[in-house]
Amino acid sequence: MWIDNPDYNVYSMKVTSFANVYGNESYTEYHGCFDVMGSNVTYDVTHLYDRIHPSICEVYFQVSNPKDWHSEAIDSHYDVTFENTYYLTNTIVFSGRIRRTLVGYFLLSRYPGVGLIQESEVKEALTKIVGSITNSLQDLNIERG
């Protein structure tokens, strides 16, 4: 989702799914940031896994590019709220002075019992996605600030 946001409103995205997972699962969260093709990428990951069910690895991300897109992320932050493991309901809220920024979500999964999706795998997927999006935006020649 592209957020132009000249009025600096607060944006949120809610992802709800029926996971049908009870209390025998493992749960982990992590976050990070890195650069791809001149863009700044920040991400939050929630990962639910066990030996019986396929893993659920949800990735929320924000991409900004102050040079090419004139992105602003002054005092901006986003929070992911995790509610439960039966009906997964995660809400991400982008607030502060966020402008000319891409935000998104994707899901990764593994067969039961295979284990965690490693952070390096998440970063590899993000690199491919962000690279593709960045190239598409350049092809569209988005209006500069």
Determine the pLDDT at residue 140: 58
Residue type, 107: L
Among 27-36, 62-71, 131-140, the range scoring the smallest mean pLDDT is: 131-140
Number of structural domains, the chain? Answer: 1
E-only strand ranges, the chain: 2-3, 11-18, 26-36, 39-49, 56-64, 72-82, 87-99, 101-108
Q: Where would I find the H helices in 5-115? A: none
CA distance 4 to 98: 8
Q: Is residue 28 part of a domain?
A: yes
Determine the pLDDT at residue 139: 62
Query: Residue 29's domain spans which residues?
Result: 2-140
Q: Which two tokens stand for residue 41?
A: 């990428």
CA distance 142 to 17: 33
Q: Is residue 45 part of a domain?
A: yes
Q: Is residue 68 part of a domain?
A: yes
Determine the pLDDT at residue 32: 92
Determine the pLDDT at residue 145: 46
Tell me which of 111 and 6 has the higher pLDDT.
111
pLDDT at 75 exceeding the cut of 70: no
pTM value is: 0.82
Q: Each residue of 86-130: pLDDT tens digit? A: 667 777 777 777 788 888 899 999 988 787 899 999 999 999 999
Q: Is residue 145 part of a domain?
A: no
> How crowded is residue 40: how many other Cβ atoms within 10 Å of its Cβ?
17
